[in-house]
Amino acid sequence: MCTQGAPEQNQIKDQDQSDLTHVSVGDIIHVVGDRSFAPLLMLVGMLLVSPLSGVPTFPSMVACVVLLVTSQMLYGRKHFWLPARLLNVQVPCEKLQKALCWLQRPAAFVDRITMPRMTVLVRGPSIYIIAVICLAIACVLPLMELILFSSSVAGAVLVLFGVALVTRDGLLALFGYSATVITIWMIVGGAAMMLPS
């Protein structure tokens, strides 16, 4: 009996160790909630700005999340949906923990300076404009992995728009539009440098 049970015990032990060393995208979404479009944009943007963006294919994974979420925002869904294959993507817990620790100070600073203002920029039709911009960023984000620091700037755009929508802070939305212009400039400039002369 004990001999037959040993492989099962080892399998359970290996599974527990895997659970301790990795966290899935689905676990992160579960914490945020499936009705929280803006907080999710803010979260993935902050992770993209953090050192976690150095994990291979992570920016592309973020692009898939943003693409699906913003598409559903434009469609008017109340709850967002993500495919199981994307929800099951694993992120190393150690790198995620480092990213969250790195983000604590910036998050505290943002929390102190935000307030409801210029709300016309973060409600009604303005929400759809923001969603279109985030959708466009998601479309080019995988290519931005080839351009140094550009994915982090794109992450900053997502953070600014996400925080602006959460806190109803139109001033941050204006900063988001400005960061979008910088992102476009970096993409165009980086693409021009990669073209053969």
Q: Name residues of the chain where pLDDT drops below 70.
A: 1-20, 25, 28-36, 52-55, 95-96, 99-100, 102-103, 147-149, 190-197
Residue 37, number of CB atoms within 10 A of its CB: 24
Contact between 92 and 21 (Cβ < 8 Å): yes
Model pLDDT, residue 16: 44
Model pLDDT, residue 190: 65
pTM attached to this predicted model:
0.69
Model pLDDT, residue 8: 41
What gap in Å lies between CA 61 and CA 156, rounded to an integer? Answer: 16
Residue 197, number of CB atoms within 10 A of its CB: 4
Model pLDDT, residue 114: 83
Model pLDDT, residue 151: 76
Q: Which residue has the tokens 């992995």?
A: 145
Model pLDDT, residue 35: 53
| CB-side neighbour CA atoms (13 Å) of 100 | 8
pLDDT tens for residues 84-114?
Answer: 777 777 777 776 677 667 667 777 777 788 8
Model pLDDT, residue 148: 66
Model pLDDT, residue 23: 74
Q: CA nearest 41: which of 87, 11, 73?
A: 73
* Residues in Cβ contact with 176 at an 8 Å cutoff, skipping those fewer than 6 apart: 130, 133, 157, 160, 161, 164
Q: Which amino acid is at 4?
A: Q
Model pLDDT, residue 191: 62
What gap in Å lies between CA 18 and CA 61, rounded to an integer? Answer: 20
